[in-house]
Structure 1
Amino acid sequence: MTHFQPNAKQIRAALRDQGGLNRRLLLAYSASLASLPLLGRTSWADPSPKFSEDPFTLGIASGDPNSTGMVLWTKLAPQPMQPFGGMPANAVEVRWEIASDESMNKVVASGTTVATPQLGHSVHVEVDGLSPDHWYWYRFTAGDAVSPIGRTRTMPAMETLPEKLQFAFASCQNYEQGLFTAYEQMAEDELDLVFHLGDYIYEYEAGRNGKVRTHHGKEIESLEDYRIRHNQYRGDAQLQAMHARCPWLVTWDDHEFDNNCAADISEQKGIDVADFLIRRANAYQAYYEMMPLRTTCLPQGPEMQLYRTASFGRLANFQILDTRQYRSDQPNNDRRSPLNEAASAKTNTLLGDKQKNWLGKSLLQSEATWNVLAQQVMMGMVGFQGKSEAQEYSMDQWPGYNAERRQLLQFLTDRRVANPIVLTGDIHCNWVNNLRLDDQRPETPVLATEFVGTSISSGGNGAAKPKDHDWLRSHNPGIQFYNRERGYVRCTLTPENWVSDYVVVDDVLKPGGTSQTRASFVVESGRPGAFSA
């Protein structure tokens, strides 16, 4: 069976060719990877596969919607924790249907695609030609097996100004550290969209964080390792149910690959770059296979473009960023440090030149009321109490890339980008930050607002009132709210206001946890900065 594993010999040869890594590395993959988008059009797939077990154990999902369609996703895996999901080495036909009613009686589009072993028997159907701003229902059929029915929607037409949008954003769901209880409340919120901002899986070996349940196997490195880990997470009933409720827009952070990675640099010393890129290629392919992403996101070996734009009419424009793949190495050995020369170097980048140029162009073209950066690491310059009098900052977050942060905020101000909002995950805490060029100078203007969401489960149950709360607030004037409970953030947008509700769960260590809104914050259109509702 072919899995398009990278060839280590070719990668190492490319590394020895100074300056030729990207070109030669991509050429090494081109013969196999170029054919992947065409695999769904083959005529040699089994039209009537037989299954002794349900092949839809991983559920269904939709994502990356626009005004005329979206991606419909599923993956055939009758034995999801076994190699290859328990599927044979041949391709099989899968039929899809999308209807305007929940009972699937009014089918408006349908077709047949192919689930191939080369892409882990995943299915990505890019539907087009639907009506803007409509809800739809969909399902898949393979042989005699029928999937659950999912609900999805199209976005409003670009020229319209919708009255309202309600979405949630979430991140950081460590399977071992807690249950995904927050998704139960999220499923009741009747959302239009979900944004997942990274750490959808964790790569660690079984038992490293085990308190509630246990990962399968060693720390993941091979393509099949990553596939099985994704399968284990997607087997969670609460996560499956939320994917079936509405379309998701996803991006990754580090744990989809390896903790605190920076471009092709490992957190661990002495890791061979070629081996690291082989592992990254495995991680990227498994991620693509598992997510409702368009073919434009198809990985090319260890390269995969996730940054992209999504719009909800003229109400909101979302720039979905990747602050992990293109970044320079964390300064100061990735330790909390003062804002020294290393942290403020102009060469430090989270975005990389190509993504930064794309972001600037996309923001200039936006005519939306709200302009949103959906990204991974905290932009607020939050200083923590250090051993000396100087406050210390996370070098894995925007403070370690301070010059680029200032450049971006100055761009938003100089180009008068309307109502900039930053959405952030990663840090396992809730925050609301009013952003300035220098967050330690409260007398200067607020330029944007950042809403940081806590984890779904990572860290287990958090403390509602941590001891350092008062110190952080008194030494960081930009902080409007700080909280360490688990949950997600629900956002309601109108042309006049943005409201962020911080939904928290009282217990993720055992079933039966309950949810409540801990705090709500408002941003008024035309007035940067959040205040308590």
Structure 2
Amino acid sequence: MTPAQVSAQVPAQVSAQASAQVSPQVSPQVSAPAPAHRHPDEFRAAARHLGRRRFLTVTGAAAALAFAVNLPAAGTAAAAELDARKITEDPFTLGVASGDPLPGSVLLWTRLATRPYEPGSGLPRARVQVAWELAHDDRFTRIARRGRATAHPEFDHSVHVEVAGLDADRVYYYRFRAGTWTSPTGRTRTAPRAGARISELKLAAVSCQAYHDGYFTAYKHLADEDLDIVFHLGDYLYEYAVNAVGGARNHTDRRLPAHFNRETITLEDYRLRYGLYRSDEDLRAAHAAHPFVVTWDDHETENNYADETPENDVPPEEFLLRRAAAYRAYWENQPLRRPQQPEGPDMRLYRRLTFGRLAQFDVLDTRQYRSNQAYGDGWQVPGPESEDPARTITGATQERWLLDGWQASNALWNVVPQQVTFAQRRDVPSAAYKLSMDAWDGYPASRERILDGAEAAGVDNLVVLTGDVHVGYAFDLKKDFDDPASRTVGTEFVATSISSGKDGADKPANWDNLTQANPHMKFYNGRRGYVTVTLTTGQARADFRTVAAVTTPGAPVTTAASFVTEAGNPGLTPA
């Protein structure tokens, strides 16, 4: 299928840094992608420009996507500017967020939306000036920095402000103003200086928040935790249809518009879905309370896709257009810095953050660069295809970046926040076992290269943080997973889902099989919640925090289990 050309205009991505101004400029015209018989790399090259174009819905079984060819810069496609004093409804319905803390710098985010369930979010297609303030106190009596940024309609009135020149290792408070409206107050922090010796860091890992499967109650409790940073490990939203009553939430006070009751395909679809998710008060509270570091998995785009290969048999150019739409909406709605701005269907999401000499965080993207799943994307008997040494879950460039980063690391703890289960998981305790082809088990050569690279770099305290599977796991990482007596080389903590899978159970149906088949599995629980990890100079402690129900709101949080691993002596023991 060749997408139709249309005349709508959408400019390139722009991040507002403090009060900097953007000069308008016009990019050259490009032609439409080639017909479907051409190589996927050619579709990728053409679709790369689509981050600077408008996507339009074309109804029909093929869910065709159309795009424009004129590429003006921000502010030229919508020259009008809206006087913010004329905004008569609260534009901060989606709250505030911060992310990717650096020494001396924070990233602040908001998105203006008076009516987040409507296309266009209730605002006209006009620029809006937004003021921001960063203070040392939550009453804003001691202002550290302030400035103005432009919310462009081409980017769904999202605002990304990178504030520099701050003190390292410091808590700050922030807010935005548009006209007479003031946003909720957010709390954030900067990272310690490189080389700083800090004694403790407490983080949380979260993942998988299907709106239609239940309430985000776990986020209410997460907001009350004393944390330095939160890692979101993927499936921030789901592409599946949400019916009028919100699925398992079973709304009785309102009905959702019909446009939510379909799978997300277009840019407008993804933008509306983020509006739905971010309208949840518990999610907003968690973002306001802590800085987030985000990475995606599959559902932010489509279930179990692998690089340019979609889940279903659709033409390559159609999926790359969908991926470009999903990536653009992801950046618009997350607290991400300018290096993470997408270019069409490509987005550099893997990145590195440090907290002094205590911890280095290497955030991975195991979805965008992977080889296609072997034998399909489910649980399969491993064989020559899955065990092919050429297979990769990270791509060669990202793998080299990770291994080089470990060679240069002087951190006590090297932590890898990523998406899918890293440790081996056999489904039954017999020789006729199957493995998940969508996890690292479907890419064992890739996993072996990572573990060998960690050993070569002298990484003594490796911690992998994982999401995806809607359960909590704690694993010892083994030099040879097929030999239970093999040396333990690291630890993996798997965060259960916020809501995906509905209420769950303490012991899922396959609990006996998995715990017997995998002696390196030290914990398995199927309730919803999150995991907190406290890093000190002596140990890492994980607390698995769970709620009993998400299909009804307000469940209390409890600690299902706690484990520690000593610095320099990998291996989990109950706390």
Query: By the TM > 0.5 criterion, same fold?
Result: yes
Offset at residue 389 of structure 1 (A): 4.3
Asked if 1:411 corresponds to 2:453, the answer is yes
Paired with 1:512 and 1:23, the residues of 2 have a C-alpha distance of 48
Q: Which residue is equivalent to 2:307?
A: 263
Q: Which residue of 1 aligns with 2:434?
A: 392
The structural deviation recorded for 1:339 is 2.4
| Structure 2 residue ranges without an equivalent (≥5) | 1-7, 13-28, 54-68
The answer to whether the 8 Å contact 1:98/1:110 transfers is yes
Aligned partners of 2:50 and 2:163: how far apart in 1?
32
1:321 Cα offset (Å): 0.5
Q: From 418, 422, 434, give the equivalent of 2:476.
A: 434
Q: For residue 249 of structure 2, what is the aligned residue in structure 1?
A: 212
Given residue 186 of structure 1, which amino acid in structure 2 is its aligned partner?
Answer: L
Query: Matches of 1:273 and 1:49 in 2, distance apart?
Result: 46
Q: Distance in 1 between matches of 2:326 and 2:353?
A: 24
Secondary structure of 2:141's counterpart equals coil
Q: CA deviation at 1:266?
A: 1.1
Task: Answer yes or no: is 1:491 the counterpart of 2:533.
Answer: yes
CA distance in 1, matches of 2:351, 2:235: 19
Q: Say if 1:440 and 1:478, in contact at 8 Å, map to a contact too.
A: no
Cα RMSD for the two superposed structures:
2.4
**Number of aligned pairs?**
529
* Aligned-partner residue type, residue 262 of structure 1: A
Alignment of 1:202-281 (within 5 A): 202-207=238-243, 210-213=247-250, 216-269=260-313, 271-281=314-324
Partner of 1:283: 326
In the alignment, is the contact (CA less than 8 A) between 1:95 and 1:110 conserved in 2? yes
1:529 and 2:536 aligned: no
- The AA in structure 2 aligned to 1:210 is G
Cα distance change, pair 26–15 in 1 and its aligned pair in 2 (3 A): farther
For residues 182-201 of structure 1, the aligned pairs below 5 Å read: 182-201=218-237
- 1:478 is matched by which residue type in structure 2? H
2:97 corresponds to 1:97:
no
Q: CA deviation at 1:52?
A: 1.5
The 3 A distance-change label for structure 1 pair 48 and 468 is: closer
Match of 1:109, SS state, is strand
CA contact (8 A) 1:81 1:232 kept: yes
Task: Give me the whole-angstrom Cα distance separating, in 1, the residues matched to 2:30 and 2:39.
Answer: 14
User: Deviation of residue 244 (structure 1)?
Assistant: 0.3
1:263 Cα deviation from its structure 2 partner? 0.7
Q: Secondary structure at the match of 1:228?
A: helix
Q: Does 1:11 align with 2:33?
A: yes
Equivalent residue letter for 1:326: Y
- Aligned residue runs from structure 1 range 233-382, under 5 A: 233-269=277-313, 271-382=314-425
1:402 and 2:444 aligned: yes
Shift of 1:201: 0.3
- Provide the secondary structure at the position in 2 that maps to 1:399: helix
Whole-Å separation in 1 of the counterparts to 2:409 and 2:85: 47
Q: Identify the residue that residue 461 of structure 1 maps to in structure 2.
A: 503
Structure 2 counterpart of 1:512, from 545, 550, 554: 554
**Residues of 1 paired with 2:406 and 2:181: CA distance?**
45
Offset, 1:153:
0.5
1:528, CA displacement in angstroms?
1.6
Q: 8 Å contact 2:43–2:317 — kept in the other structure?
A: no
User: Which one of 96, 116, 126 corresponds to residue 60 of structure 1?
Assistant: 96
Q: Note if contact 2:460-2:489 (Cα within 8 Å) is conserved in structure 1.
A: no
How far does residue 256 in structure 1 lie from its aligned partner after superposition? 0.3
Secondary structure class of the residue paired with 1:447? strand
Residues 224-261 of structure 1: CA distance to partner in whole angstroms, max 9, x if unpaired? 11000000000000000010001100000000000001
User: CA contact under 8 A between 2:202 and 2:229: conserved in structure 1?
Assistant: yes
Superposition deviation, residue 143 in structure 1: 1.1
Q: TM-score, normalised by structure 2?
A: 0.88
Q: Which amino acid aligns with 2:552?
A: K
Partner AA of 1:233 in structure 2:
Y
Q: Which runs of 5+ in 1 are unaligned?
A: none
Distance change >3 Å, CA 49–CA 284, structure 1 → 2: farther
Alignment counterpart, residue 204 of structure 2, candidates 160, 168, 189: 168
Code of the residue aligned with 1:298 in structure 2: it is Q
Measured after TM superposition, the shift of residue 12 of structure 1 is 2.9
Q: Does structure 1 retain, via aligned residues, the 8 Å contact 2:40–2:308?
A: no
Quick check: 1:440–1:477 contact (8 Å CA) kept in 2? no
Structure 1: distance between partners of 2:557 and 2:374:
39
User: What is the 5 A alignment of 1:30-109?
Assistant: 45-46=81-82, 48-109=84-145
Flag the 1:144–1:29 CA change in 2: closer, same or farther, 3 A.
closer
Measured in 1, the distance between the counterparts of 2:269 and 2:511 equals 40
Counterpart residue type for residue 411 of structure 1: G
Report the AA paired with residue 93 of structure 2. T
The aligned amino acid for 2:247 is G
> Alpha carbons of 1:437 and 1:8: their partners in 2 closer, same or farther (altered >3 Å)?
farther
TM-score, with normalisation over the residues of structure 1?
0.94
Match of 2:194 among 158, 170, 185: 158
Which amino acid in the other structure matches residue 146 of structure 1? Answer: T
CA distance in structure 1 between the aligned counterparts of 2:40 and 2:303, rounded to whole angstroms? 27
1:388-445 deviations in whole A, cap 9, x for unaligned?
Answer: 8411000000000011111111111122113111000000011111112331311111
**CA 1:130–1:47: 2 relative to 1, 3 Å:** farther
Contact 1:430 1:483 in 2 (8 A): yes
Please state whether the residue corresponding to 2:470 is helix, strand or coil. Answer: coil
Point out the more displaced range, 493-502 or 27-36. Answer: 27-36
